[in-house]
Amino acid sequence: MVSPIGIGLPAFLESLRTGRSGISKVSLFEGIAVPGGIGGEVKEFTEESAKKIWLKEQRKWIKVMCREIAMGAASATLALNESGLDLENIDHRRLGVEFGANLMFFMPDGMSDPCRACESPEGEFQFMEWGSTGLAKMEPLWLLKYLPNMPACHIAIHADAQGPSNSLTMDEVSGNVAMIEALSVLRRGSADAMIVGTTGTRIHPTKSIHAIQWDQVGYDPEHPELSCKPFDASRGGQVVGEGAATLIVETPEYAASRGAKVYGRILAGASSSVTDSDGKPLHKQALVNVIRNALKFAGLQPGDIGHINAQGLGSSLGDQAEADAIHEVFGEYASKIPVTAFKGYYGNAGASSGSLDLVATFASLDAGLLYPVLGCQTPDPKCKLDIVHGEPRKITNTNFIKLTYTRRGQAAAIVGSGA
């Protein structure tokens, strides 16, 4: 975990246990466009700490890593260390990588010097000067710093993972879809273990502009740390965030053979994208599709699920669409099944949000507790869901379903269980 509420699983768990929010005034970037300038920022993760702590063995590569790539590589390193995989003696042809990321951007002023070098005496940009003059002023190796397939590349090189490898760029569903692909790789016998995760940011200045153009963004000036209020009656929108999360996923036989600590099991997954004829996203139907298919592929019925980990962005329409989809699939059980959501702790990290949430679920299962939805004080009666709020609850049924969706109408679900 590289998250606004802690780097590494112990720190992350302690924040969940104590209800600590990682949402605050963003200090890394100037000019963040969202209300109040707030977001879920990983304040402990800096270029200096990356070199000295989190990416010490890979510090020579940091010069070709933007922040998102570095966070992804660091989270994979933490996961490999936590897993106890003996990288000196494994069959590296049987270790693969599935990793998701957003499109990556350099800072807005990154083009200033190259563009100025192409100006005429009158101050007009001269395109014909770009190849000979402007391009030479670009940041060295700039392209390698911003390609969304580079997290998987750096991770595979570090671990010498010679098995199947793929990179996904699918916004918030990236984590669930990466997990679905990894599950397919393992089940068809193409690997024994997969490094699966995502990295992402929405606190980058350019991304923050996208957020206020495309999404409902929330801000509570009295309690900024509680600005994201999933499923609350007074919710006002999502909060931008950043982070990375990685899980090591193995076949049961391989995990047992090396005595690995098992946090839980991935049973099945499904994805779907639904729009109307004009391209308008139909979130409810996409979510209905993935819930039904994921349950079908897992061989489970709605009544077999112990809790739902919702995306829970804190947006008025998004949370309602999730609630409506849950009611359509789960019927009379929908108002009884506990629902959790974790964006109140760290905001929406884009491509990484699903993996952050999934680790939070497995951490919850390991602790035997469903942690409350931070920011939700009065569950919206229109949603008619049993939102876990106020106090944690004991887990009696470890089967769960994790939901994700994007603003464009794609959804993905994972069904899993405890160890």
Does some domain include residue 392?
yes
Given a cut of 90, whether residue 162 has pLDDT beyond it is yes
Residues 204 and 173 placed together within one structural domain of the fold = yes
The answer to whether residue 60 sits within a structural domain is no
Does any domain span residue 17?
yes
- Are 121 and 246 in the same domain? no
Chain segment 149-159, per-residue pLDDT in tens:
999 999 999 99
**How many domains does the structure of the chain reveal?**
2
Task: For residue 242, give its domain range.
Answer: 2-43+70-99+149-418
Q: Is residue 160 situated within a structural domain?
A: yes
CATH of the domain at 288: 3.40.47.10
Residues 315 and 369 in one domain: yes
**Given this model, what pLDDT does residue 97 score?**
98
Q: Do 129 and 211 fall into the same domain?
A: no
Across all residues in the chain, what is the average pLDDT? 96
Residue 143, in any domain of the structure: no
Shared-domain flag, residues 213 and 302? yes
Q: What are phi and psi of 129, to 5 degrees?
A: -85, -10
- 127 and 75 share one domain: no
Model confidence at 84, pLDDT cuts 50, 70, 90, reads very high
- Same domain for 210 and 352: yes
Across the range 122-147, mean pLDDT stands at 91
Residues 183 and 234 in one domain: yes
Q: Based on the domain organization, do 353 and 410 belong to the same domain?
A: yes
Whether the predicted pLDDT of 31 surpasses 90: no
Question: What is the per-residue pLDDT for 211?
Answer: 96
**Based on the domain organization, do 164 and 281 belong to the same domain?**
yes
Please report whether residue 56 resides in a domain.
Answer: no
Q: Is the pLDDT of residue 80 over 90?
A: yes
- 415's CB contacts (< 8 A; 6+ apart) are 266, 267, 268, 269, 294, 295, 297, 298, 300, 305, 399, 400, 401, 402
Model pLDDT, residue 21? 98
Minimal CA–CA distance to 306: which of 413, 177, 176, 402? 402
Kindly state whether residues 232 and 286 are assigned to the same domain: yes
Of the pLDDT bands very low, low, confident and very high (cuts 50, 70, 90), residue 110 is confident
Q: Is residue 153 part of a domain?
A: yes
Residue 221 domain-assigned (yes or no): yes
Say whether pLDDT at 278 is over 90: yes
One domain for residues 176 and 126 = no
The confidence score (pLDDT) of residue 371 equals: 97
**pLDDT attached to residue 141:** 84
241-253 burial, b for 16+ CB within 10 Å, e for fewer? bbbbbbbbbbbee
Instruction: Over range 7-29, report the average pLDDT.
Output: 96
Q: What's residue 142's pLDDT?
A: 84
pLDDT digits (tens, 9 = 90+) for 211-227: 999 999 999 999 999 99
